[in-house]
Amino acid sequence: MTTRESAGAIVTVDLNAVAGNWRSLKARLAPGADCGAVVKADAYGLGVRRIAPALAAAGCRHFFVVAIDEGIDLAPAVPGADVAVLAPLVAGNEATIAAHGLIPTLNTLADVEAWSAFARRKGDVLPALLHVDTGMRRLGLAPDEVARLVAEPQRLDGVAVRLLMSHLACADEAHHPLNDKQLAGFIAAKTRLASAGIAPAASLANSAGIFLGPEYHFDLARPGAALYGIAPVPGEPNPMTPAVRVQAKILQVRDVDAPETVGYGATHRVSRPGRIATVASGYADGYPRSLSNIGTGFIGEHRVPVVGRVSMDLTTIDVTGVPENLARPGALVDLIGPLNPVDDVAQAAGTIGYELLTRIGRRAHRVWQGGNGDETPA
């Protein structure tokens, strides 16, 4: 376990911001629609055992993960809430899912048959989500499988379908034609299933889908990235509150002058007298190598460019214009923070905010602020 003193980087997660973002998204939904939370991948790398209770305290009762083990870890932290596992049902895991009170997602007819058979063997009626594919072409029942289920609804004997869901492929592009196509396909699947007596609540919108309008909201939205401050619609003003700050410690500061070079490959050539600081964060800690010579950090309000290559454990920054009392060993540099939000850093790195957050390394010391009014270290 890291400590603030021993760690090279500190990740601060604002639980009040996460909960506030959830409330903000819920307030945007059509009347009667509820708001869940996608907390897969350890809540996008930010600590699901801290984030999920804060969301539950805000009123969230529907949580979504991908892996069974994620659900097992999460369920005790949100007693009484629904915890759904989105990945396809793998044969042999039925008893584990049921024992931990998790809700599986049925993505194929084979999933339907396996969960139904397990429920009938137990002599019980067990909950499940039903996922239909409307255009993503990854997971979910294909239209011909939906047709077979409509023709043979007894395939769901022993199954209480809690939610019909699909996933939008292009919701972050408001005018993409696939959005309307998927909406129409979802409504058609919902109508066909209802004709066979399969009429659960419905869910289509992810974070960006919420901003497509009320016709996409149905009964339950499933935001993920926006909860953590990532912009739901790229290119538009971000309505979400930043929830994450990543700071790295300065390890050493040295004077440099032309024609010296910095870092592996000598890719940065010094052109004038200056100072270079080496900070304790590299690509092993989730700071992308693609930010070599183009990334930006901040020391207070002072912008400090990355110079040279980002290496596994270290990154070098130009602190020539920063007062020496601020740019000193032990001082913190914002790699993600108020002046360089996660989406800006991701764009510079040629990736997305989701990837940056989920790649934050285990060597960083994590601190959660808010929620219960305390600062809680890892």
Let me know if 26 is a catalytic residue: no
> Of these residues, 40, 44, 190, 249, which one is catalytic?
40
Among 27, 15, 164, residue whose Cα is nearest residue 84: 164
Burial class (CB in 10 A: 0-12, 13-18, 19+), 159: buried
- What 3 state SS string does the chain have? CCCCCCCCEEEEEEHHHHHHHHHHHHHHCCCCCEECEECHHHHHHCCHHHHHHHHHHHCCCEEEECCHHHHHHHHHHCCCCEEEECCCCCCCCHHHHHHCCCEEEECCHHHHHHHHHHHHHHCCCEEEEEEECCCCCCCCECHHHHHHHHHCHHHHCCEEEEEEECCCCCCCCCCCHHHHHHHHHHHHHHHHHHHCCCCCEEECCCHHHHCCCHHHCCCEECCCHHHHCCCCCCCCCCCCCCCEEEEEEEEEEEEECCCCEECHHHCEECCCCEEEEEECCCHHHCCCHHHCCCCEEEECCEEEEECCCCCCCCEEEECCCCCCCCCCCCCEEEEECCCCCHHHHHHHHCCCHHHHHHCCCCCCEEEEEECCCEEEEC
Q: Is 264 a catalytic residue?
A: yes
What is the rounded distance in angstroms from the CA atom of residue 258 to the CA atom of residue 270?
5
In sequence order, which residues have a C-beta less than 8 Å from that of residue 72 and are 6 or more positions away? 96, 100, 102
Q: Which of 122, 181, 228, 264 is flagged as catalytic?
A: 264
- Between CA 368 and CA 372 the distance in angstroms is 10
Question: 342 with 229: CB under 8 angstroms?
Answer: yes
Would you please indicate which residues are annotated as catalytic (active-site) residues? 40, 264
